[in-house]
């Protein structure tokens, strides 16, 4: 089993600890690839739109993005961990997600995403952990993923683990371990089920791409959809 982890900071703090608690269950059985942001995707998307219009390999940050994209595609499970920064995910995570906008369903989603599973772990000192999780889930679901598990918690005391009351530490650890146990029981040999919402999005985009292709058969996204067979009878959730 392969797990790809995206850490929204390089800090070995609470988020890191929470993510480690989750991964503990999988350490002996999984091949784990981790990315730390901003180190592994250090620049902002500048909005040139080259990825959409000319291909992702034209992005100035392709050397970073191709590694992340490959690891995400190959993973049986994606884990994304983030603290809340001003009520949202970190700027580094947002910058990485911006770079992967070309993987959103209206553009060129990876077929692998439709049958993949993901886990989102977020925390905040007092508030914002849920909106930080939503920032990440928006991308995961628009990449095509249906089976997304999530756990979020508030520290309500201190941002240093050893200063958090023991009772709170135990509650945090127990919630994360519960999720890890649940996820570890999944039969990863079986693909995740694509839900109705993902299929609805797919068919709406398919309609849009069919129209765009009539106007311009050379349009990159249309050509991709056509090559995948999605404009015809092929569906990414079917073998």
Q: Which residues bind ligand FMN (CB under 6 A)?
A: 9, 11, 13-15, 83-87, 123-128, 155, 159
Q: Report the residue number, 14 or 77, with the smaller CB distance to ligand FMN.
A: 14
For residue 158, the minimal CB distance to ligand FMN (Å) is 9
Taking the complex as a whole, the smallest distance from the CB of residue 151 to ligand FMN amounts, in Å, to 14
* 96 vs 192 by CB, closer to ligand FMN: 96
For the bound state, the minimum distance from the C-beta of residue 169 to ligand FMN, rounded and expressed in Å, comes to 13
Alpha-carbon span 140 to 61, nearest angstrom: 21
- The residue of the chain with the least Cβ separation from ligand FMN equals 13
- State the Cα–Cα distance between residues 150 and 208, nearest whole angstrom: 31
- By C-beta, is 11 or 171 nearer to ligand FMN? 11
Q: Helices 129-143 and 196-215, interaxial angle, to 10°?
A: 50
Residue 115 structure tokens: 């049958």
Q: Which residues contact 98 (CB under 8 A, 6 or more apart)?
A: 44, 45
The residue (of 155 and 180) whose beta carbon lies closer to ligand FMN is 155
CB of 135 to ligand FMN, least distance (A): 12
CB contact at 8 A, 230 and 204: no
Q: What b/e string do you get for 166-187 counting C-beta neighbours within 10 Å, with b at 16 or more? A: eeeeeebeeebeebbeebeeee
- Looking at the Cβ atoms of 21 and 205, the one nearer to ligand FMN is 21
In the complex, minimum distance from the CB of residue 175 to ligand FMN, in angstroms, rounded to a whole number: 16
């Amino acid at each position: 089993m392969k797990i790809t982890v995206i850490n929204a900071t390089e800090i070995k703090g609470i988020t890191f600890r929470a993510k480690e608690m989750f991964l503990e269950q999988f350490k002996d059985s999984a091949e784990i690839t981790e990315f730390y942001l901003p180190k592994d995707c250090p620049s902002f998307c500048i909005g040139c739109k080259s990825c959409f219009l000319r291909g992702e390999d034209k992005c100035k940050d392709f050397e970073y993005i191709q590694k992340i994209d490959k690891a995400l595609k190959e993973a049986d499970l994606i884990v994304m961990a983030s603290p809340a920064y001003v009520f949202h995910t970190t700027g580094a995570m947002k910058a990485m997600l911006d770079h992967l906008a070309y993987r959103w369903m209206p553009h060129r989603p990876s077929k692998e995403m439709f049958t993949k599973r993901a886990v989102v772990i977020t925390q905040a000192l007092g508030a914002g952990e849920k909106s930080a999780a939503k920032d990440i889930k928006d991308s995961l679901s628009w990449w095509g993923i249906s089976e997304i598990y999530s756990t979020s918690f508030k520290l309500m005391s201190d941002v240093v683990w050893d200063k958090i009351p023991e009772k709170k530490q135990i509650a945090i650890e127990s919630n994360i371990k519960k999720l890890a146990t649940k996820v570890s029981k999944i039969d990863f040999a079986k693909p995740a089920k694509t839900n109705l919402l993902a299929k609805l999005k797919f068919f709406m985009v398919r309609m849009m791409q069919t129209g765009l292709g009539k106007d311009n058969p050379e349009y990159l996204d249309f050509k991709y959809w056509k090559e995948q067979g999605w404009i015809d009878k092929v569906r990414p959730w079917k073998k």
